[in-house]
Amino acid sequence: MAKEIKKIGDILIKRKYITKKQLNNALEEQGDRPLGQTLIEMGYVKEHEITEALEEQSLLKQTLETAKDAVANPIQYKALWFIVAFSIFGIFFIYSQLTGTVDEGIKGNAVTNELQDEDINAVSVKEKKLRLRYIGHNSKLKEIQDTTVQIKKRNATFKRDVASEFKGTNQEIEDVRTIMFDTDSVISEDLSDLDDRFFTYRSSSKNDINRLKKENKSLKQRIDDLEIKLNDIQSKLKSEE
């Protein structure tokens, strides 16, 4: 029976709600969902258009089912059979007249829709390229911003290290200056002490030299006196002989 009833996709195409290409796209994306729901989600049709197509499909289905029951039970539906058959032929005749007059226009519109679809696809490709360029631009900009942040961080770190080194160097200079001052003080004290000791030694030596000079002078006088006495004694001895 499914083969005898017109499919909803064909009804939508007949009504110029969608193109064949859109139908094929929806069938590829359909999965387990109803085709009408897929078409609505893809933005190809509106809900009331699906409702109209389903109503037409349901009417055709009911008509065909009634006709089949009448054919299967001709006695039970004898009176109704002629009415149903006439109704079926009348509906199909009217439907064919209504739809047949626009078939040529539909074909032309189908070509136009395909061209429009190609234009839409081309625009979509351009939009994707622009989006990719925008994403690439943002990525490049973010990379530049990250690089700038890193440079600023390194600069701040460098300034902090230089300030720390400068502070350390100043402290070392102050320490050396303090050590030098302390050392100069010690050296000055040692020199002063040596100078005092040298002055004391020089004074003591001078006194010792003067004392020795006096003692030598006294000793020389005594030696001279003894020599005189010795000479006198020798002279006396010679005279006695």
Distance CA 70, CA 5 (A): 17
Q: The domain containing residue 52 runs over which residues? A: 8-101
Residue 84 lies in a domain: yes
Question: Which of 19, 21, 42 minimizes the C-alpha distance to 30?
Answer: 42
pLDDT value of residue 206: 80
To the nearest 10 degrees (0 to 180), the angle between helices 78-100 and 47-72 is 140
107 within domain boundaries: no
Give 130-162 pLDDT, tens digit per residue: 777 778 767 777 777 778 778 778 878 877 876
The Cα 61–Cα 198 span in angstroms is: 140
Amino acid residing at 147: T
Rg of the chain on CA atoms, in Å: 67
Is 65 within the bounds of a domain? yes
Q: Is residue 184 situated within a structural domain? A: no
Note whether 91 and 105 are within 8 A (CB). Answer: no
208 or 70, greater pLDDT: 208
183 lies in some domain: no
Residue 19 has pLDDT above 90, yes or no: yes
Q: Classify residue 221: in a domain, yes or no.
A: no
Residue 184 clears pLDDT 70, i.e. is over it: no
Residue 172 lies in a domain: no
Quick check: is 223 in a domain?
no
Predicted local distance difference test score (pLDDT) of residue 162: 63
Domain tally, the chain: 1
